[in-house]
Amino acid sequence: MKVFIQNEAGSFVKHIHHEKTLELKGEEQVSRAYPFPYGFILDTTAEDGDNVDCFVLTRKPLRTGQTVECEAIALMEQNEDDQVDHNVLAALRGEDPKLTSEVEQTLTESVRHVFDHIPGKDIKTGLFLGRSAALEHVAKYRD
């Protein structure tokens, strides 16, 4: 699957792209830095109308606007303002990152607090599910 990198690891800037044309529409500051490269899976449309969200679990410096070939390894349950907004966790081809409890905690804290600057924003996280759940989620929302 192809993942478009919208936000670089370590960045406090959320880039806002038109998710079908990939045109940059703007930027905004976020309350927490992204712990891993974050973006979305091309050729998908999730329940919220946007592409399926994705964290790439790598230490390689992926840049905003870059498209990378990945494999789904897990699914992080998430609801944003009472709407399903799960995150696929992915690995670059040839890498085999471990989804440790430390990585899960890092992702959970980041997701829960990245939008603290927006009053009333409600983000809830759930379980971390395995590869098969991630593959089913991506397949369900393929365009």
Report the first-to-last Cα separation within the chain, whole angstroms. Answer: 13
Q: Which CATH number fits domain 2-140: 1.10.3720.10, 3.40.50.740, 3.90.80.10, 3.30.565.10?
A: 3.90.80.10
What percentage of the chain has pLDDT greater than the value 70? 100
Residue 133 to residues 76, 95, 110, 125, 136: CA-CA distances in angstroms? 10, 20, 22, 16, 5
pLDDT of 31-78, one tens digit each? 999 999 999 999 999 988 899 999 999 999 999 999 999 999 999 999
- Break the chain into its structural domains and give their ranges: 2-140
pLDDT at 105 over 90: yes
- Tell me the whole-structure pTM to 2 decimals: 0.95
Within its chain, how far is the Cα of 33 from the centroid?
Answer: 13
| 88-111 mean pLDDT | 96
